[in-house]
Amino acid sequence: MRDDPAVMPLRDRRVPVGGVELQVVEEGPADGPPVILLHGFPESRLAWRRQTGPLAAAGLRVVVPDQRGYGRSGKPGRIGDYTLDILAGDVVGLADALGIGRFAVVGHDWGAILAWHLAERFPDRIERAAVLNGPHLATVRRHMLGHPSQGLKSWYVGFFQLPWLPEKLLRARGFAGMRRLMEKTARPGTFTAEDWALYRDAWEQPGAATAMLNWYRALRRRSPSPAPEPIGVPMRVIWGDRDAALDPGLAEAGASLCGRCEVFHIPEATHWVQHEEPERVNRLLIDFLTRPPA
């Protein structure tokens, strides 16, 4: 066990997956139940710096990639390289490359969207899935029809579709725009000066700004899909209710698509729930991830 669970150590390596190389860190016993942690925008594996140690100390084999387009991982240049099916293929391919069969997945923000998708499409591989402040995409349009305020909150998704301008604004003055985006939507003091230095290093990697935005731009390439089948994989939703971009009701909207799902609201937390309430989030994750199969 590490003395400081907020510090990432590590077994750090590059793993070829799906035509890209993913930078991946691992911690915990090699024979522990495997769990893959998936970050969102505009983070990197740093998103889980307060979770990795405690989950590993609980006996889990923790795998944390910089996802495609982020941090030190590969950054393909085409928007079509960031569709949800390709991103899900990265996660399953990473498990294959590491000799992992069935595994749990935990996602935040875009990582949560991907976790919903994995649970729905790969029930033979996903043991269980936890999502933090990220909707199931099939619920968003219907939710916006009943809650117009969500449409206003989602303005940035349309803005990110524009070419070059979003990158220019986010990169301006040493990525001050990216930092401001996170600071404005988090509780004061959530991120430290050391955090910002690490985030900026990830954002400054060649091609990173465009690659991160291409996750949003690839949404236009989603084919309309039929109503999803009920998700049979055990799910746990953890939601910071003061999220500036996502209504709390999206947690229940996603849960309505599941056969087995528990929802936990943290009223005082924002979108950055695992940063702001790490002890509570870690307890909820460890309880869920170490629970014997039903």
| pLDDT tens, residue order, the chain (294 aa) | 344 444 444 578 999 998 999 999 999 999 999 999 999 999 999 999 999 999 999 999 999 999 999 999 999 999 999 999 999 999 999 999 999 999 999 999 999 999 999 999 999 999 999 999 999 999 998 888 888 889 889 999 999 999 999 999 999 999 999 999 999 999 999 999 999 999 999 999 999 999 999 999 999 877 556 567 789 999 999 999 999 999 999 999 999 999 999 999 999 999 999 999 999 999 999 999 999 887
The first and second tokens of residue 275, run together, are: 């940063």
Tell me whether residue 271 is one of the annotated catalytic residues: yes
Tell me whether residue 199 is one of the annotated catalytic residues: no
Tell me what pLDDT residue 50 has: 97
The pairing of strands 103-108 and 11-17 is: unpaired
pTM: 0.94
Identify the active-site residue in 70, 82, 199, 216.
216
Best CA proximity match to 129, nearest among 209, 238, 212, 56 = 238
Identify the active-site residue in 109, 117, 247, 275.
109
C-beta contacts of 89-92 below 8 A and 24+ residues apart: 89/18, 90/17, 90/18, 90/20, 90/22, 90/65, 91/36, 91/38, 91/118, 92/118, 92/122, 92/125
Domain residue ranges in the chain: 11-289
Give SS3 for 141. Answer: helix
The first and second tokens of residue 103, run together, are: 């595994």
Tell me what pLDDT residue 18 has: 84
Name residue 72's amino acid.
R
Q: How far apart are CA 288 and CA 294, in angstroms?
A: 12
Is residue 157 within 8 A of residue 246, CB to CB? The reply is no
The first and second tokens of residue 173, run together, are: 């003055």
CATH of 11-289, one of 2.60.120.650, 3.20.20.70, 1.20.1180.10, 3.40.50.1820: 3.40.50.1820
Tell me whether residue 109 is one of the annotated catalytic residues: yes
The pairing of strands 11-17 and 34-38 is: unpaired
Identify the active-site residue in 108, 143, 271, 275.
271
Tell me how crowded residue 225 is: count the other CB atoms within 10 A of its CB. 9
